[in-house]
Structure 1
Amino acid sequence: MIKASQILNIPIYATTQLRDKLGGTCSELSLDNVVEYVDKSAFSMWVPDIQKHFKPEDGPHEVVIVGIESHICVTQTAIDLLASGHKVYVLADGVSSCNPQEVPIALDRLRKEGAVVTTSESFLFECMGDAGISEFRQISALVKDTKSSTKSALETLCKI
């Protein structure tokens, strides 16, 4: 999704949870194009430093969420965004938990709360909307390159 966000010009907002105590974002993630990177103590990432990028006069936004602790931070962020009137996508193959059994329960709850629970591939093709756009070939190649890891994530995390 990070690579896809660069191709499709989707802004990234990232947070860490008490970085000094729990550590930073893993070094494998290349977060060079992050709009805002916030360390927080709240479980939801819908904190003032992130909220300031979502101006009410711009209307509701479509927000896609990926991250860890699907049943805590992902869930609380999604619920806060929904309560603020935004459309929320949670990518099933982009969330996890230290207790994998928590993931399907969290995804089910988020569906019931009004979030769109989908996959990264489905979300990307929905964003593009048409194979005629200039970014299509790059996204298509990226989806093919990550197909096995996406399949593995879905098999591991989404046993419903």
Structure 2
Amino acid sequence: MSGAGAPTLHVDGSGLKVVVVAASWHTVVMDGLLAGTRRALAAANVTDVTEIRVPGTFELPVAARAAAAAGADAVVALGVVIRGGTPHFEYVCQAATLGLTDVAVQTGVPVGFGVLTCDDDAQALDRAGLPGSHEDKGAEAAEAAVATVVALREL
């Protein structure tokens, strides 16, 4: 499992404004990712949270960019892409990854990367933070975004 060696992040995000942008595909997995994100933000004392939904993972970068421009201290981007029989998987995964990276670098607003890129439904479910899942990528993305804001403020 890829979660081996993951850090334990305990940070205080009090006073931060966080926007969660979430895709709409794969409802069960997305519900798990969103629940994990909410738990992690609550544990970090983040109370100013806005959630918006976009159609799919491809649309996450433009929504993240708008959130950064609107004053978010951090963005958490959540999506699920499951490999199919066409190159669509590679295009969407690459566009989302590069787009979200560009948003973070160009705006200076940390973007927690909670985009699952899986070969099948079972892999996605195993990472969704649901009962029986081995990983909680929604929580990890939220923790990373908040921890990065805190780290950048130390510069």
Structure label with greater radius of gyration: 1
TM-score class, shorter: 0.3 to 0.5
TM-score (norm 2): 0.33
Q: TM-score if structure 1 supplies the norm length?
A: 0.33
